[in-house]
Amino acid sequence: MKTITVSFLLNGKKTSVTSLPNRTLLDVLREDLGLTGAKDACGGEGECGACTVIMNGNPVNSCMIFIGQIEGTQITTIEGLMEKGEFHRLQKSFVEAGAVQCGFCTPGAILTAKTLLDNNPHPTDHEIREGLSGNLCRCTGYNKMIDAIHLAEQGGLDD
């Protein structure tokens, strides 16, 4: 099997990786690029959303994408959410609302929440539940995540 070279924008930086084509974006992020925010929780079935990253503005499961499929795309991982040394308002609001317990689903949930707010700045509870339906959490019972998203939507926290 021949390796392929794939170029894409990762967290705003031009990135090029050489990999066997039978590896997923999740494999490459974690094993080659050292970005371990995206997690494999369901065994690569696309059920849990812990591996969610943002691809061209949409949340996607990085475990279901072969590396060749990301040629020319823009990828944002949880590691790319900080700006100028500041955490993103969703990262702050998740902490403030207690929406983080074991933390395994958190990167995926925050990235999904970001795409939700980017497209719909003031979502209803129902829209948040719909939006997060692909991100399973076994700790929080989701209510605190909904609180966190409302908190961020209202402008976040004043530090």
Partner 1 sequence: MQEFNYHRPITITELKECLSIPGARILAGGTDIVPRMRQGKFSVPALVDTSGVKAMRFIEDQGSEIVLGALTTHQEAADSPLLQNINPALVTAAESIGCQQTRCRGTLGGNIANASPAADTLPALLIFDATLLLQSLEGERRIPLEEFLLGPGQTDLLEGEFIHSISFKPMIGSWGAAFIKIGKRSGMAISVANTAVAVELNDKGKISDIRIALGSVAPTVIRCRKIEQALLGKEPEPALMKEIHKACQEEISPITDIRSSAEYRNHAAEVIIHRALESAVEQAKERGR
With binding defined as CB under 8 A, does residue 46 bind partner 1? yes
Sign, Cα dihedral of 76, 63, 65, 145: negative
With binding defined as CB under 8 A, does residue 123 bind partner 1? no
Integer Cα distance of 90 and 17 in angstroms: 30
Using CB under 8 A, which of 59, 80, 107, 123 touches partner 1? 59
With binding defined as CB under 8 A, does residue 142 bind partner 1? no
Integer Cα distance of 63 and 74 in angstroms: 16
Our CB check for partner 1 shows the closer of 66 and 104 to be: 66
Integer Cα distance of 41 and 104 in angstroms: 8
Scanning 8-16, 65-73, 85-93, 148-156 for contacts with partner 1 by CB under 8 A, the matching segment is 65-73
Our CB check for partner 1 shows the closer of 63 and 148 to be: 63
**Containing H/E element for 6?**
strand 4-10
Our CB check for partner 1 shows the closer of 11 and 24 to be: 24
Our CB check for partner 1 shows the closer of 48 and 81 to be: 48
Angstrom CA distances, 97 to 131, 145, 157, stand at 18, 7, 11
Residue 61 Cβ vs partner 1, minimum distance, rounded to whole Å: 5
Angstrom CA distances, 32 to 23, 24, 29, 46, 49, stand at 11, 11, 6, 21, 21
**Which parts of this chain interact with partner 1 (CB under 8 A)?**
1-2, 4, 20-24, 43-47, 49, 52, 55, 58-61, 63-66, 68-72, 112, 115, 130-131, 133-135
